[in-house]
Structure 1
C-alpha cells in the first residue's frame, strides 16, 4: 500500500481498488486491517492456495506457535464482522508479553461452508474460502490481531480460522446481522456481565456454549476486574482459577489509607495480563469461538466506580481540593488493552494525547425488528453528584467513604446538590446537565437521535448500570425493625399478664391490657378498659366506646380493641398462637406508626437505646448513586424525550449490580405514583461476581439494620452437621412482593443447595433429596413459617420501589432474550453455587432457576412468570 497522498488504495482479493481517506487509512493500517470477501476461488487448506498479502511482514513458519487466547469475533453487521486472535511463540507462558523484534504475518481463512462439526477443534476448515489473506502480527500490540471482514452476506453464518506456519487455531463461527430493511421473525441473544475471575465459577459459560442457540452475545462490561486480592474477591473460587499476579500493579489502600495485600492494574502490561488470563479459560474461549460479541465496558475495565480518568479508591483523601485522583495514563492503558483484546469495530487514536482517545458507543440494526444502541457510561460521565469530600453532619468531617456518597445516599442531600449543579451549569454552560451527566452531551444527543429516528419495532439499549430507582425509606425500615424486635417482649408481657387474678387467665383481656399499656395508658386504666372491652363483646356493644368510657384515649382504645380481636380470631389455634397474633398486632398497629410519626423522638426508639445510632437513618436513601439514580436529572431528560417523541418499545439490557431485576423506568420517580413509565429495564446478574445481596450483607454486619438485609438460619442436617444459610431479606426490603410460605421456601432452595453441595453432598439424587428433606423440615418449623415469613411479609409491606416487578439480589447467571415482532422475552438464568469446599468445582447441574420477563409491543410494562 502506498503511504503518500490524501487518498490511499487498498486492494481486495478481486484486485479491486478501495479508496479511503488518510484518517481511515491510519485507523486500518497495521494493527486493525480490513479484508474484503470474494466469491471464493480457493479451497481452504489446499496446498496450492496462496493467501493475499495484507502486509509486507514475513510469514510465520514451522510448528513453534500457539494461540493461547484462541479466537473471537465481534460487531456483526449485515456485511461485516471483526475477527480477532493472538498468536505467540509456543515457548511463551499464556500471559507473557510478546517478544519485540519478531513481527510476522499469519493467515486468515473465512468460509460460508458449514464447519459446525469442527467447532472446539483446530481441524482444517473445509469448503470454499471467501477470505484467504495474510495479516500482520505486531509485538507493539502484544501480538493481537484484529481484521474487519467486509463484503459479507446478510444473515449468513460463517466459519473462520487463523494459521501460523503449520499451526491452526480453533475453528470459529459468527453470524452476520439481517439486512437493514428485511423482515425478521426472531432474534435470540444472551447478555453477560461481571465475570470476576477470582470468585465463584464460570460454569455458566460452559453451559451457554453447549446449550444455547444464539445469534450473538452482548457483553455489558466488567469483562475483567482490575483489582487482584481486593476485599470483595476473597470468597470461594473454583480451583481451576489460580491466583492472579499483576506484572506491576499498585498496592490498594483500605478506607483508612492503610496498605492492603491487594493490588490494582496500573500499567498497560497489567491490563494486558488480565485480559490474557481471563481469555485463557477454555470456557470463555468456547463462547468467543461460537458467537460474535457486541461489547462495551463498565468500570472495572479501568477502575472501580471510575469516571473519566478519575479513580475512587482514595475517596478524595489524596486531594485536598475535594476531587478524586486523576490518572490519565492509566486510563489510556486501560483503553488500549480493551481495544487490543475486544473484537469491536471501534477506533483508538494513539496519536491523541488525551484519555478520551477511543469511542466505543455505537449502534446496530437487525432488520426491521431491532435496533441495538450501545452506550459508554464511564468515559464521559461527570463526578458523582455527592463527593466523598462532603462533610458528614454527624461527625463534622468529610465522608471519605463510598457510603453516603455513592452508596446509601440520603436522597434529600442528593437532590439539593444535583439541583445546585444543574443551576450552576445552566448559568455557565450551554448544557444544563454539564455537571451531572453520565453520557456527556455529544453521546446524549446521539442517543436521542437514534431513539427518535429508529424505524425498528424494538429499540434495545445496551446499558451498563441500572436505570430503575432503587430507594429505601429509612424511617419505615427502622419502624419495622423496632416493631419486629418488640414482638417477643410483648408476647412475654401478655403471657405474664395471664397470671393476674383479675384477668382469670383470659388471653383476650390480657392482650387488650398490654396493648393499652403499650400505648401509654396507666396500668389500672388499661386493666379496667380491657375488662370493659370483654364485657361489651359479650353483650354485642361497641368495643371502642366501652374502652373510651373506661378511660382510654381514642388511639389507645383502637389498639386495645385490635389486639383483643387478633387474639380472639386466633383462638382455634391455641393460646400460644393467640399471644403471638396479639403481640404482632400491637407491634405493627401501634409501635411502628409511632416510630414513623415521631422518628428518633419516639419513646420506643429512646427505649431501644439506639437513638443516637439510628438518628441519621430517618430519611429516604438512594442505594446506589454510581448507577442512574446518581444521575437523575439526565435520566429524567432521556425518559421525557422518549415520551415527547412517542418512542415506544424501548428496553434496556443492563448489568453491573450483580442481581436480576426487572421493572419500568419512569419519567420522574419522585412524581405522584412514581411517574409515567417510559421504557423497561431488564438487569442481569453477574456471571460469577458476588451478588449485590452479599455485598450489602457484608456491609450491614452486626449493625442495627442487618435484619432488613439478611436473616441467618442455622439448620441441623443428619450426617452433615449444622449448616448456615443467610436468608435474603434485601429483596423484600427493596420491594419484592410479600411471599407465601412456599414462595419463601423456593427462595431458600438455591442457597441451601449451595450450602449442602459445599459440604460435599454429591450432586444428583442425593443432593436433591437432601434439599427436599431440609425444606420440608423448615416448612414445619415455627421459626421459619412464622418468624421468618412474618419478617419477609412486613419488609415487603414497606412498598419500596413499586416499579420493580422482579427482584433477585442474590444470584449469579446470565440472560437470554428472544425478540419477535409481538414481544420481547427475557429468561433470567440463575446458576447453582460451587460444589464441594475441598475440590472447588463448578456444578455439573449449572442452571438453578429460570425466571421469565415478558414485554409486549406497545406497552412500557413487564410481566413475570
Structure 2
C-alpha cells in the first residue's frame, strides 16, 4: 500500500512491516499509525473477537473491534478515539487458541493502532514483510484486556513446489434459520485457509424464508433503522450504515464463527445478501419494488452503506474509496497465488452486472402486473430468454457498446481481467471463487408434463385392467392388452378381438413381437394400437409367470405403467397441448404455459449465457486446463462440467468443472422451489412428494421427498438409495418430535427399513422418481443434493482435486446436533481432464 492510498483511507487502514526488531509504519514513517492517540485504558472487550484475511506470501490483513467493557456488544461505538496494540509472533501458540492468555515467544510485530469511533471501533491492519508458508499467531490489546489469540498461515512463495493444499469453502449463513453447527465441524478441519463465497449476512429480518425453526442461541435480530419490505409491518431490510454494521456485529458474536476467524485466514467475496437479494449494481429486486415508470428501484446510498460495512468488517485487502460519490467505490475482485500448485481468482458478480435479461418490472400479460421473481429470474422460458438476450446484445451494438455490455455479469473491465488472469496463470490448478453456478439447469416442460399425466393415469388404467380381468376369467395379460388397445383409441369390440389375436400369437411365438403385432393388426387394430397391446400383454404375462406369484394389484399396476409410459407419455410428447390425453386431464389451460423448455434460475450464469460462452471460449481457444469453479449461492450441492455451449448438439464440449456448496444454514433450494411450486397443481410433483410416516409412540412424521433432484438429472434410484436420500429429513423430523439425540440414529434406521417395505414408497414413489430421472435433464450434472446444508472440504495436489461435500444433520430441539456431519459425498477431478468422478 503506497502512501497516497493510505491517505485516501484516512487513518482507517494501516500498514506496517514485520521484523525481528520492530516495525516501520505506513509509507516508511518512523511513527506508529496510532501513536498520536491516547491509549485505551481500563476494562475493554473484543465482542467480535479477531480475524485475518487475504493471506499472501508476505502479508496478511488483520482485524478486530474493541469497545469498553460496559458497552453493548452490537451498539454503535461512542466516545473518543484511542489506540490499541497488535502483537504477532511466529512461535507456536496453538494451545492458546480459543482463549485470551498472553502470547508467548519472540514477536515479529508489536504496533500501536488507531481505534476510531467513525469506523465503529473496527481495526484493519495490513502486516507485510512476513515469511512465506509460515504460521503466525496474533493478539490485540486494549487497556487492561487482551483479545482471543488468532492464527493465520501465509501463502507459499509463487515459485514454491507445494505438494498439497487443504481448505474449506462456505456460503449462505443465515442467522435466522436452522443452525451453525457446520462451523464447529469446519473449525476441527486441518486447513490452510477458508474461502467464503458470500451471503455472510442476510440483509432481511423476518422475511418469509426466515420464519422456520432456528437454534435458541440465535435470538431475533433487531435492525437499528430498517425499512419495511411491504407496507408498514412485517419483514424489514437493512438500509443504513448502522443496519449493515449491526448485522456483521451480531453475526460475529457467535462463538463458532469467531472460532473460524480465529483459526484460519479468510478469502472472502460477497454475493447478493450483503446488499440486497438477487441484486444487480445498486438495484434491489424485491417483488413490487419498482419506480413509477416500472424500472427497478436503484438505491445508491444503500449500496454504498453495504459496501462500507463489508469493507469495515471483512479482513480483505481491497480498494475502497470513501471520496468517491458513486456506488462502485470498492473493488473486491482479486487473485491469489499458492506456489506452483494453485492460482485462485475471486470475482465480484453483483456490483457490475447488468439487469436480469428479463426485468422483474416486465408486465405479465396474464395478470397485468410486474413479473416479479417468477418469470424473470426463475422458471424462465428458454426461447423467450434467448430472444430477449439477442435483442439486448443487438441494441448494445447499435449504441456503440460492446455486445455483452447489456447482458454481462462481470462487466467489461472485470471480464478482461479474468481472461488475462486465466491466460497468464502458470499454476497447475486455476480455481475460480465464483458466487453463482455456471451449470446449465434446464427443464423440458413437454417431457415433464407428459411424465406427470402418464403417472396420474396409472391408477385409473390399473382399475380398468382389474375390472376387465374379472370379465375375462381373471386373465390379466389379456385384460391389459384389451385396455391398452382401447387407451390407444380402438373401439371396444376391436380391442377385444385384437387382444385375443395377440394372446393366440403370443402362445404360438412368444419371442416374435412382430408376429404378435401382425396378428393384432389383422384383427383390426392399427399398428400403434397393436404395438402397445403387445407390450402390455408381454409385461403382465412375464410378471404373472414369476417364481413368486404376483398379486392382482401388482399385475394391474404393471400393465397400467406399460400403457401409461408406453403410449400416453409418447403421445403427449409428440402432440403436446393437442394430445387428447391433455384434454382428458381437464387441465389443458392450466398446463398450456408449461409446454416449453425452461431455465430454472436466471439469477445465476444461465441468465448470462452469452458471457458464459465467451468465458468458456477463452478457456477452450487458449487451451487453459485444470479450471475449477468453487461456487455458492444456490443452497445445494452440485458437481458438474461446464460446456463451451450447452445449447450445442450433445450439450457442447466440457471445458471446466463447477463444484457448488450448500449453505451453512440457509434453507435449501429444494424448500424454496417446493413452496413456490405448491400452488401449481400437478407441476408441484416435479419438485416434492408429501409422505406421512406413522411412528409408534411419536405420531406421524410429515416429510417432503425431494423429487427436484431427479427432475434435474439425478440417476434413477433403487429402493435403498431412495430411502437413504431421506435419512437426514427423517432424523430431523424425529428430532422435532422430541426424540433424544441418543436415540435418533437407531430410530431413523428403523423408520427407513419400514419405508422400504411400504408400497406407497417402494412402488409408487420409486416409480415416480425413476420416471423423473428418465427425463434426461442436465446430463452434465454428475451430483446434486438440493435439500441440504453444509460445507465443502478441498484437498488439492498436482494430480487431483478432491472435494468432500459435507452435509449436516438438522436441528435437535432448539440446538445444533452433537453429531454434525450426516454424510460425505466426494467429487474428484483429475488433472488434465474436465470431468468428475463422484463417490
Q: TM-score range by the shorter chain?
A: over 0.9
Partner of 2:570: 593
Alignment match of 2:455 (pick from 461, 484, 488): 484
**Cα distance, 1:400 vs structure 2:** 3.0
Partner of 1:554: 527
- 2:417 aligned with 1:446: yes
Partner of 1:53: 32
CA RMSD after TM alignment? 1.3
Q: Secondary structure at the match of 1:433?
A: helix
> 1: distance between equivalents of 2:40 and 2:194?
34
Partner of 2:517: 544
> 1: distance between equivalents of 2:100 and 2:64?
14
For the 8 Å contact 2:52–2:261, the answer to whether it is kept is yes
> 2: distance between equivalents of 1:362 and 1:334?
19
- 2:707 aligned with 1:735: no
Partner of 1:417: 388
Q: Secondary structure at the match of 1:445?
A: helix
Partner of 2:326: 354
Partner of 1:62: 41
For the 8 Å contact 2:139–2:146, the answer to whether it is kept is yes
Q: Secondary structure at the match of 1:632?
A: helix
> 2: distance between equivalents of 1:40 and 1:115?
20
Q: Secondary structure at the match of 2:784?
A: strand
Q: How many residues are matched? A: 824
**Cα distance, 1:469 vs structure 2:** 0.4
Partner of 1:523: 492
Per-residue CA deviation, residues 323-365 of structure 1 (Å, 9 max, x unaligned), is 2100000000000000000000012101000000000000000
Partner of 1:704: 682
Partner of 1:803: 780
Partner of 1:304: 277
**Cα distance, 1:734 vs structure 2:** 0.5
Partner of 2:26: none
What runs of 5+ residues in structure 1 fail to find an aligned partner?
A: 1-19, 43-50
- 2:7 aligned with 1:26: yes
**Cα distance, 1:391 vs structure 2:** 3.4
Partner of 1:289: 262
- 2:193 aligned with 1:222: no
> 2: distance between equivalents of 1:535 and 1:92?
92
**Cα distance, 1:260 vs structure 2:** 4.5
- 2:791 aligned with 1:814: yes
- 2:446 aligned with 1:475: yes
Equivalent residues in 2 for 1:625-664, closer than 5 Å = 625-664=602-641
> 2: distance between equivalents of 1:133 and 1:25?
17
For the 8 Å contact 1:316–1:400, the answer to whether it is kept is no
**Cα distance, 1:29 vs structure 2:** 4.4
For the 8 Å contact 1:315–1:402, the answer to whether it is kept is no
Per-residue CA deviation, residues 293-351 of structure 1 (Å, 9 max, x unaligned), is 0000000000001100000114464332x321000000000000000000000121010
Partner of 1:14: none
For the 8 Å contact 1:189–1:214, the answer to whether it is kept is yes
Per-residue CA deviation, residues 196-221 of structure 1 (Å, 9 max, x unaligned), is 00000000111211x20000000000
Alignment match of 2:253 (pick from 249, 273, 280): 280
Question: Which stretch of the first structure deviates more once superposed, 274-283 or 739-748?
Answer: 739-748
For the 8 Å contact 2:35–2:112, the answer to whether it is kept is no
Q: Secondary structure at the match of 2:745?
A: helix
- 2:695 aligned with 1:717: yes
Per-residue CA deviation, residues 731-773 of structure 1 (Å, 9 max, x unaligned), is 0000001011111111011111111111121123x21211111
For the 8 Å contact 1:712–1:726, the answer to whether it is kept is yes
Q: Secondary structure at the match of 1:570?
A: helix
**Cα distance, 1:427 vs structure 2:** 2.6
Question: Which stretch of the first structure deviates more once superposed, 734-743 or 52-61?
Answer: 52-61
Q: Secondary structure at the match of 1:197?
A: coil
> 1: distance between equivalents of 2:687 and 2:491?
37
> 1: distance between equivalents of 2:212 and 2:21?
52
Q: Secondary structure at the match of 2:272?
A: coil
Q: Secondary structure at the match of 1:55?
A: coil
For the 8 Å contact 1:52–1:132, the answer to whether it is kept is no
Partner of 2:177: 199
**Cα distance, 1:538 vs structure 2:** 1.8
Q: Secondary structure at the match of 2:493?
A: helix
Q: Secondary structure at the match of 1:505?
A: coil
**Cα distance, 1:21 vs structure 2:** 5.1
- 2:225 aligned with 1:248: yes
TM-score, normalisation: structure 1:
0.94
> 1: distance between equivalents of 2:233 and 2:539?
55
> 2: distance between equivalents of 1:303 and 1:603?
46
Q: Secondary structure at the match of 2:682?
A: coil
> 1: distance between equivalents of 2:121 and 2:60?
20
> 2: distance between equivalents of 1:265 and 1:319?
23
Question: Which stretch of the first structure deviates more once superposed, 32-41 or 195-204?
Answer: 32-41
Per-residue CA deviation, residues 528-584 of structure 1 (Å, 9 max, x unaligned), is 111111111122271100110111111111111111011011112423222111100
For the 8 Å contact 1:59–1:165, the answer to whether it is kept is no
For the 8 Å contact 1:59–1:106, the answer to whether it is kept is no
**Cα distance, 1:393 vs structure 2:** 4.2
Per-residue CA deviation, residues 93-151 of structure 1 (Å, 9 max, x unaligned), is 11100004x10000000000000000000000000011000000011100000000000
For the 8 Å contact 1:406–1:625, the answer to whether it is kept is yes
For the 8 Å contact 2:39–2:83, the answer to whether it is kept is yes
Alignment match of 1:366 (pick from 301, 316, 338): 338
**Cα distance, 1:40 vs structure 2:** 4.0
**Cα distance, 1:704 vs structure 2:** 1.9
What runs of 5+ residues in structure 2 fail to find an aligned partner?
A: 24-29
Partner of 2:482: 513
**Cα distance, 1:394 vs structure 2:** 3.7
For the 8 Å contact 2:229–2:235, the answer to whether it is kept is yes
> 2: distance between equivalents of 1:640 and 1:162?
48
> 2: distance between equivalents of 1:107 and 1:466?
42
**Cα distance, 1:725 vs structure 2:** 1.5
> 2: distance between equivalents of 1:452 and 1:495?
67
Q: Secondary structure at the match of 1:498?
A: helix
- 2:543 aligned with 1:570: yes
**Cα distance, 1:28 vs structure 2:** 5.5
Per-residue CA deviation, residues 697-756 of structure 1 (Å, 9 max, x unaligned), is 111114221111111111111111111121110000000010111111110111111111
Runs of 4+ in structure 1 deviating by more than 6 angstroms, as ranges, are: none
- 2:16 aligned with 1:73: no
Q: Secondary structure at the match of 1:140?
A: helix
> 2: distance between equivalents of 1:769 and 1:228?
37
> 2: distance between equivalents of 1:444 and 1:66?
43
- 2:771 aligned with 1:794: yes
> 2: distance between equivalents of 1:292 and 1:648?
28
> 2: distance between equivalents of 1:53 and 1:117?
30
**Cα distance, 1:595 vs structure 2:** 1.1
**Cα distance, 1:425 vs structure 2:** 1.4
> 2: distance between equivalents of 1:21 and 1:792?
60
Partner of 1:532: 501
CA distance 1:91–1:748, change in 2 (3 Å): same
Partner of 1:834: 811
Q: Secondary structure at the match of 1:843?
A: coil
**Cα distance, 1:628 vs structure 2:** 0.3
Partner of 1:96: 75
